[in-house]
């Protein structure tokens, strides 16, 4: 391990390294004031950093070694008495599964990075790159990592492609031509009209459905309805009808109908 590994991981380089200016001109000006700190005006201070890439690369180079020796070498290069440097040890579990278990000849590791109490087979852990073998104590790589990550991507694509569950459309039939439909929490009175029978000698006439806000024909409904399902039967309870007109009902009419 590098002797300055703690500085590489924790400390950020000084800002303005490519700037060749000097702060003495500002410190000698009248705007600076009479009492200044030693670093005022130079703007080249160090800050804290969390560059964990060197730590990750170093751990990957230690595979097939006993974990106790790897951990001892890590402790010798980083002072755990320092609060800033001790923070590095909190990220070791992000790269190494140290508490693996052996169940029926198969290695089990934490199922998720932040839920160590849940266990999963090593072949299904897409976040575990390295693990300590529970019997030998050797630091080993997860050779099934690529397969686990591909399986997680496929499961994510399948969940995204599945259409979201849609609430059933709510409506009440008042009479043969009148229906009440609930659209986005409001009730509307809809007058439906039948479509004429389609004959061989006549063209398929297009009608405009005011409820779904799209043109419809007897052969098929609209492709992108504004509300509800494109299926006639699910929308109106029967086929070959469309909403000819509609009006919004007031609260008094709704209370008289449902008794609310």
Q: Are 65 and 100 in contact (CB under 8 A)?
A: no
CB under 8 Å to 190, separation ≥6 — which residues? Answer: 171, 178, 179, 180, 181, 210, 211, 243, 245, 246
39 vs 208, higher pLDDT: 208
pLDDT at 111 over 70: yes
pLDDT of residue 68: 93
In tens, the pLDDT along 146-199 reads 888 888 888 888 877 766 666 677 888 998 999 999 888 889 999 999 887 776
In tens, the pLDDT along 14-27 reads 555 554 455 666 66
pLDDT of residue 10: 64
pLDDT of residue 20: 45
133 vs 4, higher pLDDT: 133
2 vs 61, higher pLDDT: 61
pLDDT at 119 over 80: yes
Whose CA is closest to 70, among 80, 62, 81, 61?
62
**Measured CA angle at 87 (ends 85, 91), to 5 deg:** 120
């Amino acid at each position: 391990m590098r002797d300055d590994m703690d500085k590489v991981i924790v400390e950020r380089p000084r800002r303005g390294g490519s700037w060749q200016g000097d702060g003495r001109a500002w410190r000698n000006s009248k705007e600076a004031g009479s009492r200044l700190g030693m670093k005022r005006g130079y703007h080249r201070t160090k800050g804290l950093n969390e560059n964990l890439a060197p730590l990750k690369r170093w751990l990957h180079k230690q595979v097939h070694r006993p974990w106790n020796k790897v951990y001892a070498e890590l402790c010798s290069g980083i002072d755990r008495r320092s609060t800033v440097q001790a923070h590095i040890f909190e990220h070791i579990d992000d790269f190494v599964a140290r508490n693996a278990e052996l169940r029926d000849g198969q290695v089990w590791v934490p199922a998720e990075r932040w839920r160590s109490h849940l266990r999963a087979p090593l072949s299904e852990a897409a976040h575990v790159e390295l693990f300590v073998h529970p019997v030998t104590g050797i630091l080993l790589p997860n050779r099934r990592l690529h397969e686990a990550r591909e399986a997680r991507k496929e499961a994510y694509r399948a969940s995204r492609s599945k259409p979201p569950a849609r609430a059933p459309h709510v409506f009440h039939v008042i009479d043969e031509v009148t229906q009440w439909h609930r659209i986005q929490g409001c009730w509307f009175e809809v007058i439906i009209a039948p479509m004429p029978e389609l004959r061989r000698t006549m063209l398929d006439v297009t009608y405009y459905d005011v409820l779904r806000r799209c043109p419809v024909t007897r052969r098929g409904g609209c492709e992108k309805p504004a509300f509800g399902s494109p299926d006639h039967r699910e929308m109106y309870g029967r086929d070959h009808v469309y909403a000819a007109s509609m009006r919004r009902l007031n609260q008094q009419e709704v209370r008289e109908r449902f008794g609310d």
